[in-house]
Amino acid sequence: MIISPPLLRNKSDTESDAAWIERMIPIDVRRGFPVNAWHTWHGGVHLTHSDSTSQPEKIRSIADGTVHFVRHPQFSKRDLPPYNYNGGTDCGCVVLKHETEIGIGEHGKVTFFSLYMHLKTLDKDISVGKTVYQKPHWEQWDRWTEPTRFTSRYFVTIPIW
């Protein structure tokens, strides 16, 4: 199984793997993972918004997996409670289940989940039980339609042993 960041950008020849990952998944210290600046639990990493160009980047699955949960976004709800806790927040959400092996036999099997939140749009084909590959993507919030609001995305993996 290949695991990669949810945003894929070219890596320069002089860039270390750690620097490349940090550039794609920078951690905002105020919203740090797993504990934020206010010393409270924060269940994900806000991805830097990346749709300020004519070709917006898309959120991708970190690995091939199966849709375990999906909530398609409803734009009409983004400014209503509970989604408006800090301004309008998109409510699209996907949880993927990933299964791989890192050893031999039953004890070598690993299952983990990845969570994608605050998605503005989502392919209508995404449904529970469907296999998702790294190639399909979910569109990020469109900054051009609401230039006054900047919303990041959550990304977290939860290992289940």
Distances (CA, A) of 109 to 22, 89, 115: 28, 36, 20
Number of helices (H) and strands (E), helices first, in the chain?
1, 8
SS3 state at 52: coil
How do residues 87-113 score in pLDDT, each as one tens digit? 667 778 889 999 998 888 888 899 999
Res 78: pLDDT: 75
2 belongs to a structural domain: no
Instruction: Reply yes or no on whether the pLDDT at 84 is more than 80.
Output: no
Phi, psi of 123 (to 5 degrees): -55, 135
Q: Note the residue count of the chain.
A: 161
83 belongs to a structural domain: yes
How do residues 44-61 score in pLDDT, each as one tens digit? 777 765 556 667 677 788
10 belongs to a structural domain: no
Please tell me what DSSP assigns to residue 129: T
Res 69: pLDDT: 94
7 belongs to a structural domain: no
The domain tally of the chain equals 1
4 belongs to a structural domain: no
User: What is the Cα–Cα distance from 66 to 97, expressed in whole angstroms?
Assistant: 5
84 belongs to a structural domain: yes
65 belongs to a structural domain: yes
Whether residue 152 contacts residue 118, with contact meaning beta carbons closer than 8 Å, is answered with: yes
CATH number, domain with residue 140: 2.70.70
69 belongs to a structural domain: yes
Res 50: pLDDT: 59
Give every CB contact of residue 160 below 8 A, 6+ residues apart in sequence.
Answer: 111, 112, 113
Q: Which domain holds residue 65?
A: 17-157
- Mean pLDDT of all residues in the chain? 73
